[in-house]
Amino acid sequence: MSIQSIHDTLIYINSTVESISSQFNRIPGSAIVLRYVQSSYQNDPIRTFLELCLFLFAVRYFLASKYSVTKKDFIKLTTKEVDELVNEWTPEPLVASMTEAQQVDISKIPVIVGGTGPKVKLTTGRSVWNLASANMFNLVNSPALKEAAIKTLREYGVGTCGPSGFYGHQEVHIKLEKDISNFLRVPACLIYAQSANTILSTIPAFAKRGDIIVADSAVSIPIQKGLVISRSTVRWFEHNDMEDLERVLQQVQKDFKGQLLTRRFIVTEGLFENTGDIANLPKIIELKKKYKYRVMLEESYSIGVLGKYGRGLSEFFNIDPMEIDMIVGSLANTFCAGGGFCAGSEYVVKHQRINGNGYVFSASLPGYLAATASEAVSILQKSPDLFATLNSNTRAFRAIIDKSQYVTSPSDLESPVIHLRLSDEVVTTRKIVDEDRLLQDVVDECVANGILITRNKTVQSQEVFPVEPSLKVIITTGLTKREIEKAATVVKAAISKVMAKTPKIKH
């Protein structure tokens, strides 16, 4: 190519660029874009290149044709072929088929007609005394609770339809939080909408990956799931064994010596759901201070039950409730409402308002349940005689049932939740394999004689540690002391009758 032709080409390119530049400058805002490109290229040419690529990709994406399913490699089926394939398809069941044992269990579940209470009627037509409900003070049938629920229902409607952090926090919730914090004598309280979800949300709100949790081996399934969700390092100690707890705390101290400081918690129940015994809170507080831990106490069954005014373990042991970092409990048991609470310092409560998953993402507790819980708290505060009556009934029942030669009870004498287990000697000498089936026979015999109790039912595959089969009896003030003694006699006789059908094995 000659020099003249190269010169002409350069002149043509230059004139073209000038023409394009002239046309571009006529576009409104073009000078700003040009200055940005020049400045960007000067400072970081790679950034300009990437932005250009992104711009071209966006243009290509928006101008591309819609996705088409009419491709050549698609097999066109006739209507008959489609129908045949649909008829041949068998979907997998959403739930596994019930076993024979599960079917028998379901068929034997008593169904109550109408509202619950200390004396109820079953669909079979039989009237029974109810020792299977956590309605320990018969507040479900309280006219004051019903009136509070109806009044709030008419004013606020059925549900809040929104989480507490948005528009689900109403005056009744504020009042309930204040009532519970005053009742427990702590600065603040937080209300959750679901009972089991309370502890399940509280644990991961404070404990994260890398933190350390030392937990009692007999804690209930909601606590176990909360520990899993937190992803913390979990160490277990033998149930209610304070020597083993200290051993575990010392071992943790050795294992993590020299490492970064972590948050450390002791997690336990107040009154254990699966055993009925009571945590040794004074010793736990002592070890907490000694090894620098925080204590998370789940009191679903001890709140409203233990202590002179039902304030739980802190009152039962005469301990300042502020020694417990987090007091968690259900409102669905003694308070006959729904949901749960976490009480403690202002920091503990404020932290959960933005970090408790069950609080942030779930619709808040229905207003009428919050109102009934507040009313229940008020009734318990004004009626200290109820706790004396409950304790008297509990001891009356234990005085008779403890004489049975076939069962033992791990439950505390102050606990209205009483578990009855077959003694080791009975299981060994009679070579009992299916304890649950035998205990269910006792339940059926009790119902046949007018006393409604239940078995402690768990899903063993979900439990971290096996839960021993047991009968579960919950004492109520709705029955007189004489009636409680009669009920204990019936239960004791039912155990003896069933065991008489299971003779000792001769060696």
Structure tokens at 118: 């200390």
Q: CA-based angle 225:231:232, to the nearest 5? A: 105
Helix 242-255 × helix 281-291 angle, to 10° = 20
Sequence-distant (≥ 6) Cβ neighbours of residue 274 within 8 angstroms:
218, 220, 419, 456, 458, 467, 470
Token pair 């619950």 is found at: 116
Q: Which regions of the chain carry the CATH code 3.40.640.10?
A: 142-382
Does the CA dihedral 353-358-363-365 come out positive or negative? negative
- CB-based burial label for 378 (10 Å; 0-12, 13-18, 19+): middle
* Spatial CA neighbour of 421 closest among 380, 383, 453, 469: 469
- Model pLDDT for residues 269-305, shown as the tens digit of each residue: 999 999 999 999 999 999 999 999 999 999 999 999 9
Angle at 503 between CA 497 and CA 504, to 5 degrees: 135
Which residues in the chain show pLDDT less than 50? none
What φ, ψ does residue 341 adopt, rounded to 5°? Answer: -140, 160
First to last CA, the chain: 116
Residue ranges of the chain assigned to CATH 3.90.1150.10? 100-130+384-500
Superfamily classification of domain 100-130+384-500? Aspartate Aminotransferase, domain 1 (3.90.1150.10)
Q: State residue 67's pLDDT score.
A: 59
Whole-number pLDDT of residue 461:
87
Q: Does domain 142-382 have CATH number 2.30.30.40?
A: no
Rounded to two decimals, the pTM is: 0.80
Give the DSSP letter string of 256-269.
TTTSPP--EEEEEE
Q: For residue 291, what are its two tokens?
A: 């090894």
d(Cα 142, Cα 91) in Å, to the nearest integer? 49
- Other Cβ atoms within 10 Å of 254 Cβ, number: 7
- Rounded to 10 deg, the angle between the 195-206 and 346-355 helix axes is 100
pLDDT tens by residue, 330-382: 999 999 899 999 999 999 999 999 999 999 999 999 999 999 999 999 999 98
pLDDT at 330: 94
pLDDT for 118 = 92
